[in-house]
Amino acid sequence: MRPHFEVQVHMSDETPDVELDVSGYNCPIPLLRTKKALSGMAAGELLRVVSTDPGSEIDFRVYTEKTGHRLVSFEERAGAYVFLIEKSAVF
């Protein structure tokens, strides 16, 4: 079965501006797709990423620390890792 990759854009203030589902992909794909999604976003916008890669928790924590993006929240649910990232003004 082919891994799932999808980007959805939301306009509601109560939801992230962009959602990225990289379920089924392993490192480095979740992080690479996240970088690409963030590069097309404006500072302050929110990106929700859903990943099934167990290594993604540490990858995303290190990535956000090094780039200045803010890891707003992290949650593990039903075998998936859900990240909410705020786009930095720097990157």
Q: Catalytic residue numbers? A: 27
| Strands, sheet with 80-86, edge to edge from the N-terminal-most edge strand | 6-9, 18-21, 46-51, 80-86, 70-77
Q: Which amino acid is at 86?
A: E
CA–CA gap between residue 77 and residue 50 (Å, rounded): 10
